[in-house]
Copies of this chain bind each other. A is one copy, B any other.
Amino acid sequence: MEYPPLAELVQGKWPQDVLDRAKELQEHIGSIGAYSHSKGVPFIRKSVAKFIEERDGFPSDPEDIFLTAGASAGVSLILNTLITPNVTGVLIPIPQYPLYTATLAQYSGVALPYHLSEPNGWSTSLEEIETAVAKAEKEGIVPRALVVINPGNPTGAILDKKTMAEVVRLCEKHSLVLLADEVYQANLHRPDTHPFHSFKQVVRELQSPVPLFSFHSISKGVKGECGRRGGYFECTNISDEVRALLYKMASVTLCPPVSGQIALDCLVRPPRPGQPSYEQYKKETDTIHAALRHRTQLMAQRLNSLPGVSCVDSPGALYLYPKIELPDKAIEEAQRQGKSPDTLYALELLEETGICVVPGSGFGQKDGEHHYRLTCLCPGVEEYVSALENFHKKFVAKYGGL
């Protein structure tokens, strides 16, 4: 028996622009089951460069683009290249997505934490970075790179352009490589007042020579195709020699997953007005953005009305990072159990309500403070936030009040 190929079955049944894209990609890729170029399919790297040019208004060279198995694979490759074991320091924001501390530990790099300012909406403080640089130098650690997560994870904060320019100047002053984790660049809840600017754009506008690696991913935004493992990084002001070294290192793992590369092409080259699939794409995208915005704002508002809870109303990313005051007795109980107090809180929340949050101790926080990270992805936000409220009140009462 002969089985008809997929292309035949979908012909005339799916939007023509989708079929055309599949055919175009197939022509450039060949088989999805074969290795691609170790930096990724050249055609898709061209699509990425075009996306960056349209976003920033500055040229982008496909040769500066490396496709990766998610942003984390790119971060790992760059940190590996930068680090001399036990000597090299990398400045990371606190709170931070633990990828950075974990990857630094893997390569025996030294994490140099700088605190974000919670009272100022988790803003990035130049003073804190300067303090961290000075401390490192005193301890014989060579600060070599600065990580900025923008929009922030877990904070959702977005850097304004003035601060970004100051960060770039600081990198110039201390000869730091800038690592810009920009995977949430499409997750903006109030783009009019809190727009996203890429560090690539700022570096080019300032005509700065700062070496910059910018990371993006298919795992966030509204697609969230995280299981396919796709992403890229762009090199700005990186010498041919270093790029050649990165290419060599990328080739050790042969190539990024081709299905992730294809998803990346869809991310950076979405349907355009007039194409058959555009209306559906636009409607789905707008609906998801609106839902994320609504959930984030509603939860922040409700959390802020709880006793002992304060929560920055994140303008971006997919999270809230509320600060919680905990009763002394809860802190004592946590100590007795050998857990951090926010871990005790998170575990009891999970038991009581089924809601899973990540304790702040996983991301870092100041001594004596307690936070947790909450995602804004869950539908049924009213029910969800009511459960959170009820739990919080019961928890505080159970441990004797604040």
Chain A residues near B (Cβ < 8 Å)? 1, 3-4, 6, 9-10, 13-15, 31-36, 69-70, 72-73, 76, 80, 85-86, 99, 102-103, 106-108, 223-229, 249, 252-260, 263
- On chain B, the residues within 8 Å of A256 by CB distance are 229
With A3-B14, A10-B9: A73-B253 Cβ-Cβ less than 8 Å: yes
Residue of B nearest to A249 (CB): B106
**Bound: A162/B85 CA distance, A:** 41
**Bound: A255/B229 CA distance, A:** 8
Q: Which of B76, B86, B260 contacts A257 (CB 8 A)?
A: B260
- On chain B, the residues within 8 Å of A13 by CB distance are 3-4, 9
Q: Which of B33, B228, B253 contacts A72 (CB 8 A)?
A: B253
**Bound: A70/B85 CA distance, A:** 27
Q: Are A252 and B103 in contact (CB under 8 A)?
A: yes
Q: Are A228 and B33 in contact (CB under 8 A)?
A: yes
Q: Which of B6, B108, B223, B253 contacts A69 (CB 8 A)?
A: B253
Residue of B nearest to A101 (CB): B252
What are 26 sample pairs from A and B whose C-beta atoms fall under 8 A apart? A1-B15, A3-B15, A32-B228, A33-B226, A33-B227, A34-B226, A35-B226, A35-B227, A36-B227, A69-B229, A70-B253, A72-B254, A76-B252, A85-B86, A85-B108, A102-B249, A102-B252, A103-B252, A107-B107, A226-B254, A227-B255, A228-B259, A229-B229, A257-B257, A257-B260, A259-B259
Residue of B nearest to A14 (CB): B3
- On chain B, the residues within 8 Å of A225 by CB distance are 33
- On chain B, the residues within 8 Å of A4 by CB distance are 13
